Structure 1
Amino acid sequence: MTGPLRPAFHEGQVLAAADLAATVGHARASAARHARHLHEWGIAEGLALVTGSRTDPATDARYVEVTVSPGLAIDGTGREIVVDAPVVLSEAGFAEVNGAERTTEPYPVFLTAVDRPQAATGPASCAGGGESTRVEETYQILFGRLGDERLVADQSPPDAGAAPADPPVRWLVLLGFVQWTDGHFTDARADARGVRPRYAGVRADTVAARSGTLALRSRLTAREGEPALVLSGEDPPSLVFGLYQGNGSVSPLMTVAANGNLSIEGSFSGRISAGSVLVVSGTATDGMLLPLPSGVSAEEVAAGQVALHVYVTPRIPPAEAGFIVPAEAGVDADRRVRCRLRGYDPIGEPGEVTERPGAVDFLVLATVPTANGGGAG
């Protein structure tokens, strides 16, 4: 087996067409391998399905004209597919594939690479017998049948060292879906049946920032209220998760400092580990349900995965006359507070005993039992 062959030249060499073709082929193959193995294939820019409202002059029916916006895709062979101008989807082309069907289900729209040799023109064409001297690397838009969007996931990339194929291998890049009613497109959408267009990505074990700050966000542009993850090497270093503000800065929701300290703006919840304790405290009146500590669910308590320890202390208000004592202070199996206060005024005529609802200060501890006398379960 041999590796890729790079053309080499020397003084006085007579260059044949094959020599020049090999020069172009070596560069094309190198670029394709780079795109195929260092990136995830998909849409890199644009190529959205855009709709415009129209009216059928014959029937006055409303429909939409669907246009593919200009953009760039990288297919799974590493080939660039460039759409340099808006393309209006052909209703006639759709009708040839799916026009006989009567359904409002969305149909997939694909983009694939195509080569078109260009005939030689001018004085050079006389010597070459009219053979093409240029190849247009262009594209074709295809309409699929219902369910054909699943074909995208079944495509297999070429071998590691494979050069670009001539003509190119048909590789389907899903652009989106269109709906069809009575001879016209009526809508376009990005996803259907759990499938959506795939976008280009990168394969890397290390991502390094030149400015000292690395930001991850969910969209191309920063939008107010959208999430962001910012790794900063500035002084002091930090890892911040937050939301973009209108001025483009990130408002922290969670911050990890260089010393390991964690700061959060909201509450913390999640499954607690064996041996750990979560606590909630406060004041509750008779008949109220005591809350569970954040991160503990009622299902975990009912299943015995979490043990609760509840402590209540009745709050004794000052008596205007006589004295007040707790008649009852506790919680039932549903964590409902039972608190009654009893008052007695011995000076009254006659001495009166009263009873009324009261309040308690509570402390709820949630623990996960350890296994085998101390090991985490």
Structure 2
Amino acid sequence: MTGPLRPEFHEGQVLAAADLAATVAYARSAAVRHARLSHDWGIADGLGMTTVNRTDPVSGNRFAEVTVQAGLAIDGTGREILVPAPVVLSEADFEAVNGADGPSTEPYPVFLTAADRARPATGPASCAGAGGPTRVEESYQILFRRHGDERLVADQQPPAVAAAPAAPPAQWLVLLGFVQWDGTHFTAAVPAARGVGPRYVGVRADTVSARSDSLALRTLPAVQEGKPALVLSGSPTPSLVYGLYKGTGDVDPLLTVAPNGNLTIAGSFSGQISAGSVLATSGSATDGMVLPLPSGVTPAEVADGRVALHVYVTPKIPPSESGLTVPAEATVDGDRRVRCRLRSYDPGVGPAVTETAGSVDFLVLATVAATSGGG
């Protein structure tokens, strides 16, 4: 099999229609190969479905007029599908496919596909007589399908690597969304149904670089307050920041990785404890308090033996100039409840020995035994 053929011309050459068509075909083939092989297909811009409330002049019932907004999609063959202006969905076209169904709350899928439309010849007739059309409109078609047909999108297979643009193009379905139907009119438009929604274009790359020394990854095309962002910066200090956008457009950092590897987080750190690791928590507690578990350890893990607890308590003896205070009890029961009692004797107050509730400093260690291979 030969590679792509690039047209070449020389002085005095008689140009046939095939020579000029080859020039166009060469450029089209290069463009669709790039779009098909360097990108993931889907909606590139626009093409959202919007609704306007209307009233049926005969029945007086309210319904929704559904409009597909202008936009651009790239299908799985690498072809651009341009919708240059908003288009109102045709209820007659919908009825031709699904009109036999009764009213249903289940949404119906709406698809976009490419369509070529020949245009009449322009200019004077050639010496050889009337020819075919000299223009082909790269247009589109909006299709309605049955319940569940949205899953056909995942079954579509792209053409071979060296395939030229199909002529006429093979039908490739781009899901726009779903409409609901009451048996007479559309009643709503929804972006997703039955776990399937529109697909958007992507890029296939092992390296993504930024010319401004800052690379941002966000969930929407435009900056929006409260939405997440991941920002990799090279100056003034190299850093990796995850946070939420503020109203000013800056990112409020929730997690920052410094050049030396230090990690700074605004919230708490938690996670599943792994084999061989130790988590700890410490502090002070008074008699009757339940000691906390280290962050990342659940009571269920302790109860079923996946995590072993080691608890250390040290009674806190208050200072006294004339008396003596000793711990009578400093323990922790099976519910991690502290039992601390202090006995005091002060000859300056009286001969009696008193007993009061005390407090302790505690250390709680949570451990999981390391496995010896495969565990």
TM-score, normalised with respect to structure 1: 0.92
**Cα displacement string for residues 122-153 of structure 1 (whole angstroms, at most 9, x for unaligned residues):** 42378552521100000000011000000000
**Cα displacement string for residues 291-343 of structure 1 (whole angstroms, at most 9, x for unaligned residues):** 11112222332343322111122344568997655443222222222334456
Residue in 2 that maps onto 1:235: 236
1:225 shift after superposition: 1.5
Distance 1:266 1:129 in 2: 76
State the superposition RMSD in angstroms.
2.4
Residue in 1 that maps onto 2:172: 171
Q: 1:263-282 residue pairs with structure 2 within 5 A?
A: 263-282=264-283
Q: 1:93-132 residue pairs with structure 2 within 5 A?
A: 93-101=93-101, 102-124=103-125, 128-132=129-133
Distance 1:142 1:85 in 2: 17
1:305 aligns with 2:306: yes
Q: 1:336-355 residue pairs with structure 2 within 5 A?
A: 336-342=337-343
Residue in 1 that maps onto 2:331: 330
Distance 1:28 1:104 in 2: 43
Residue in 2 that maps onto 1:137: 138
Structure 1 residues 304, 19: CA separation in 2 closer, same or farther (over 3 Å shift)? same
1:156 shift after superposition: 0.1
Aligned residues: 374
Distance 1:13 1:341 in 2: 111
Distance 2:131 2:15 in 1: 20
Unpaired runs of 5+ residues, structure 1, are: none
Structure 1 window deviating more from structure 2 (306-315 vs 336-345): it is 336-345
1:107 shift after superposition: 0.8
1:29 aligns with 2:34: no
1:305 is paired with a residue whose SS is coil
1:77 aligns with 2:77: yes
Q: 1:34-73 residue pairs with structure 2 within 5 A?
A: 34-73=34-73
Distance 2:312 2:68 in 1: 66
1:105 is paired with a residue whose SS is strand
Q: 1:150-229 residue pairs with structure 2 within 5 A?
A: 150-229=151-230
Unpaired runs of 5+ residues, structure 2, are: none
Distance 1:288 1:197 in 2: 54
Structure 1 window deviating more from structure 2 (262-271 vs 223-232): it is 262-271
2:95 is paired with a residue whose SS is helix
**Cα displacement string for residues 40-92 of structure 1 (whole angstroms, at most 9, x for unaligned residues):** 00000000011111111222212111100000000000000000000101111
Distance 1:342 1:184 in 2: 84
1:98 shift after superposition: 1.3
2:104 is paired with a residue whose SS is coil
Distance 2:52 2:293 in 1: 54
Residue in 1 that maps onto 2:359: 359
Residue in 2 that maps onto 1:5: 5
Structure 1 window deviating more from structure 2 (258-267 vs 134-143): it is 258-267
1:345 shift after superposition: 7.1
1:114 shift after superposition: 0.3
Distance 2:58 2:183 in 1: 12
Structure 1 window deviating more from structure 2 (184-193 vs 330-339): it is 330-339
1:53 corresponds to which letter in structure 2? N
1:217 shift after superposition: 0.7
2:43 corresponds to which letter in structure 1? I
Distance 1:336 1:216 in 2: 47
